[in-house]
Structure 1
Amino acid sequence: MDLSTLRQQNIHIVGATSAEGSAILDFLLDHGCECLTAHDVCAPREIHRHYRLTHLTQPVKAVNATIRRWKSAVTLCHADDYLKGIEHADLIFVTQAWFKYPPNFPKLPEVRQQGIPFRTITQLYFELFPGTIIGITGTNGKSTTTALVAQILEQEARLTGTFRVLHSGNERHVSQVLDQLEHCSPADVLVLEISNRQLIELDRAPHIATITNITPDHLDDHPSFADYVQIKTKMFRLQTPDDVAILNRDHELTRQIQSVVTAKRVLTYSFKGDPAAEAIYRDDHLWWRQPDGDFQPICHRSEFPLRGNHNIENALAAILTTKAFGARSEAIQSALQSFRGLPYRTEVVATLDGVEYINDVKSTTPAATIAALQSLSQPVILIAGGGGKGDLDYQPLAHQISQHVKALILLSGEGATAIAAAMAGLDTPLYYQQTLEQAILQAKTLAVAGDVVLLSPACPYFSSTFGASPRGGFTQLIEELQQNHA
């Protein structure tokens, strides 16, 4: 697909106010596409509010300018007109989760069956970016690893001045970079976080493909866990012999990817210090194997600011990924030492009366919450639960809670019910609350100096119910608590 072809087509964009949909729409407008129809389920009067939900940091003036431009240059189909005329499209751009929304059925599957091609923003990146693409996937840790890889390569670019780094992902605080592609050269690098939903439509592979781990998640997106595993390993099967595959040697499912990898160069990393790996953690240091076979220390664990063994794994993945690109140890060490992590991942929000409040709202699987608990040495009051699926195994989490948590506060929902069932027979005090604010207030009454209040849901649909944004969730409530305390 090239821009000259796009300019000649009748293109429809589904989910126009989303982060992906709006980036695609703006990109097509910027490049002279005139026959554009944008679809969004919201009513016309709600378009500004819907747009703001996925563009949290964009100034109001910029939002208003974008919406004005759309209204003057694009056919907008809202509310009752949603998907109107889409059967006449030459090409349809969809967001990665289009199949999750009931308003898209049965219309979108019907037009696809008629032969109208679907494309995604991820496919646009692969088709239009001229340089090296690094793709990072995995159930947990992919956002942190992607951000760390980007920061290392940005440091390398500052040292050499020979290439540019672009970075995009699933997070609302990470901007899409379609508008920068035309300024890129073959020397540049694009670092992409790639979710399981983006992998479904993917038909090309990154030059360097990295996976963090595979654990049960998004099981409602796929017929079975086996199908989820197939999707997660897809980009490794699409690679060419000239590409590089980077795998977690400590996890059985990621280790097994070696049997389907098509790249000739396969590198592995191991937190457990497996000497067969190319990057390892050993003796409180992070190491990588040099071309002569000897291991070189990159940094001491104390120099890397993030807590938890899971973040050491993420760092090892980032070291190996950037080494595969050609980054020097100097750049890697500098970036590791200065990396401060991402919002909502074991993020320390405040300390009040000696109690640390940590926002880990992005931990929406049992495995992610286990990792968060294992990263803490203090007594923990855990806030978890909310909406979820009953097909996740919460027994391992219940075991960790019984060891690390002095009190568990569950917020109502199917996920909370599943966690409570797994906790049956264990001694950890269990409380129930209906709102996040009530849970925080109860945690405050239970906590004493030296404790940690940790929000780590372990359930996939917590944020949509209780809020994860700075202006509507845990962080804002703790800030208000801090102000009242002062």
Structure 2
Amino acid sequence: MITASAYKGKDVGVFGLARTGLAAVEALKASGAHVHAWDDNVDRQKAAVPHADDLYALDFKTLDALMLAPGVPLTHPEPHTLVKKAQGAGVPTISDFDVFEAARAELPAHKTVAVTGTNGKSTTTALIGHMVAACGRPAAIGGNIGTGILSLDALPEDGVYVFEMSSFQIDLTRSFTADIAILLNITPDHLDRHGDMAGYVAAKRKLFDMQRPGAAAIIGVDDAYGAAIAAELGDRAVPVSVMKTAPSGIYVTEDGMLIDDRDGTATAVGSIAGLTVLRGRHNWQNAAVAYGAGRLLGFAPEAILAAFESFPGLAHRQEVIATIDGVRYVNDSKATNVDAAERALGSFRSILWIAGGRPKDKSFDALAAHMGNVKRAYLIGEAADAIASGINGHVDYIDCHDLAHALELARADAADGDTVLLSPACPAFDQFRDFEHRGATFRALVEGLMKGADA
């Protein structure tokens, strides 16, 4: 684990004891801190024994810092009760990234890469970590991708830590300095947490504000928000586009050729159109920013492209589960908003589309533009009516209520060459614990079809 001697003898409250919080408790304890851990969930309280301590009852004048889990609201829709209590007592609120930053001077020489954006963060984080390892340097990935960063083992000399950072995590962090900071894209998301779009954009922008002067910034400029941030950062920004040329940056042509124009020469690096795991323009963007990070880390272009070829992909992100009787089954359960579903719908043809869950976006009208790729939609969950309203008149659809029924009907309708695509455009919380549970359920159902086909 990562420890920070700066916290030795300090009293630190830790609120929120899921993976990030429990990793922080162990790391702070190992650092010599006095830890006061709490969660509103009783089972999680038990997991923190003997460090469990009711923070609501604790005198905060004894605390040096309060670490918050990413899901704890700092400002909107209103500050959490314990945030107000910390503010009243003058106690700084921090994240696990602040503890990591305090530990960096004690770690072997290393680099940090931080990836944020509305969509594609996990794939890009995993891709960069894979690339670093494939190019022969020690690598570790963590953060929002699912591993608390303080639970990582310290890397040997010349290692690269690759972190996925959500807007929630950036919002809570005070001092983390990424050597290479990456912004993929910004579309409306989590506005309840950040107040409005300006607050959401400001949270993303903060990643660059925390960097040291001159530190590298790689920024997707295919949306107006990213383009504005790149312009504000000036020469230290490397613009990346998959929609147009990006002077002094990196871009991908319409036919999938990766172009490096950082020095003004517009050098053709190689084609990424045939990368089956990195299918679609959104994945070309992921590859382009990963290429930029690889070059800044000193890797040769051919080594980077070879790493892309061997990248296995991530579960629940356009994950091909199986091909049965010529029909491909794809698990894109991580597509929890309209923008992510649009990306998947643009990556395949002849789609039998399973969508729905608990609605997060106010409108699903933007999905209508992609119905030319869809043969029929199979709608599930609380969002079924809202999605139907958005695509009505553009494609045939059936209200299936649940995932098993949707897959059953899609299987019956599918023909050789079709793709059955689970890309819900919604969070899973109406019928599943999370997107991973939903994706795992889909995988199990498809595996059941495979067994039936074998029989």
Distance 1:290 1:111 in 2: 46
Structure 2: where are the runs of 5+ without partners? Answer: none
The aligned counterpart of 1:164 is 138
Superposed CA RMSD? 2.8
- More divergent stretch after superposition (216-225 vs 311-320): 216-225
Superposed displacement of residue 190, structure 1: 1.6
Post-superposition Cα deviations, 1:95-141, rounded to whole Å, max 9, x if no partner, equal 11112999x94344223332222211122223323432211111111
**1:124 correspondence with 2:124:** no
Deviation of 1:153 (Å): 1.5
SS at match of 2:377: strand
Question: In structure 2, what is the Cα distance between the partners aligned to 1:266 and 1:427?
Answer: 41
CA contact (8 A) 1:361 1:463 kept: no
Shift of 1:440: 1.7
Within a 5 Å distance, the mapping from 1:24-43 to structure 2 comes to 24-33=24-33, 35-43=34-42
1:349: which partner in 2?
321
How does the TM-score come out when normalised to structure 2?
0.88
For residue 57 of structure 1, what is the aligned residue in structure 2?
none
Q: Which residue of the partner structure matches residue 150 of structure 1?
A: 129
What's the counterpart of residue 81 of structure 2?
106
Query: What does 1:77-116 correspond to in 2, within 5 Å?
Result: 77=53, 83-85=56-58, 87=60, 88-99=62-73, 105-116=80-91
User: Aligned residue for 1:462?
Assistant: 428
1:267 and 1:337 map into 2 onto residues whose CA distance is 24
Larger deviation, residues 403-412 vs 363-372 = 403-412
What secondary structure is seen at the aligned counterpart in 1 of 2:336? coil
- Give the 3 Å change call, closer, same or farther, for CA 275–43 of structure 1 in structure 2: closer
State the partner residue of 1:476.
444
Q: For residues 173-212 of structure 1, what are the structure 2 equivalents within 5 Å?
A: 174=147, 176-181=149-154, 184-185=156-157, 187-204=158-175, 205-212=177-184
Query: In structure 1, what residue type is equivalent to 2:15?
Result: V
Identify the residue that residue 370 of structure 2 maps to in structure 1.
400
Give per-residue Cα distances to partners, 1:375-411, cap 9 Å, x unaligned.
Answer: 102x1111111112353x422212212x121111222
Q: What are the equivalent positions in structure 2 for 1:374-393 lying under 5 Å apart?
A: 374-377=346-349, 379-391=350-362, 393=363
Letter in 1 for 2:351: V
Aligned length: 442
Q: Which moved more, 1:241-250 or 1:289-298?
A: 289-298
Distance 1:422 1:294, change over 3 A: closer
Identify the residue that residue 62 of structure 1 maps to in structure 2. none
Please show how residues 87-486 of structure 1 align to structure 2 within 5 Å: 87=60, 88-99=62-73, 105-130=80-105, 131-156=110-135, 158=136, 163-172=137-146, 174=147, 176-181=149-154, 184-185=156-157, 187-204=158-175, 205-261=177-233, 264-274=235-245, 276-282=247-253, 283-289=255-261, 291=263, 293-303=265-275, 305-377=277-349, 379-391=350-362, 393-401=363-371, 403-413=372-382, 415-424=383-392, 426-459=393-426, 461-463=427-429, 465-467=431-433, 468-469=435-436, 473-485=441-453, 486=455
Q: What CA deviation, in whole Å up to 9, does each residue of 1:325-382 have, x standing for no partner? A: 22211320211111121110110112223222111010111111111011102x1111
2: CA distance, partners of 1:373 / 1:277: 31
Contact 2:96 2:149 in 1 (8 A): no
Report the Cα distance in structure 2 between the residues aligned to 1:320 and 1:373, rounded to whole angstroms: 27
CA contact (8 A) 1:288 1:319 kept: no
1:202-255: CA deviation from partner (whole Å, max 9, x where unpaired):
233312111111111112212111221121122223333321111223322211
Alignment deviations for residues 289-332 of structure 1 (CA, whole Å, 9 cap, x no partner): 36473504234422564211111111011111221222211320
Once the 2 structures are TM-superposed, how far is the Cα of residue 47 of structure 1 from its aligned partner?
7.0
Contact conserved, 2:5 with 2:31, CA < 8 A, in 1? no
Match of residue 51 from structure 2: 75
Aligned partners of 2:36 and 2:55 also within 8 Å = no
Distance, in Å, in 2 between the alignment partners of 1:176 and 1:228 is: 23
- Pair 1:433–1:311, CA change in 2 (3 A): same
CA distance in 2, matches of 1:210, 1:167: 15
SS at match of 1:22: helix
User: Which deviates more from structure 2 when the two are superposed, residues 239-248 or residues 318-327?
Assistant: 239-248
Identity %: 29
Please give the alpha-carbon distance, in whole angstroms, between the structure 2 residues aligned to 1:144 and 1:230. 23
Superposed structure 1 runs of 4+ greater than 6 Å apart: none
- Cα separation, partners in 2 of 1:222 and 1:416, compared to 1, 3 Å: farther
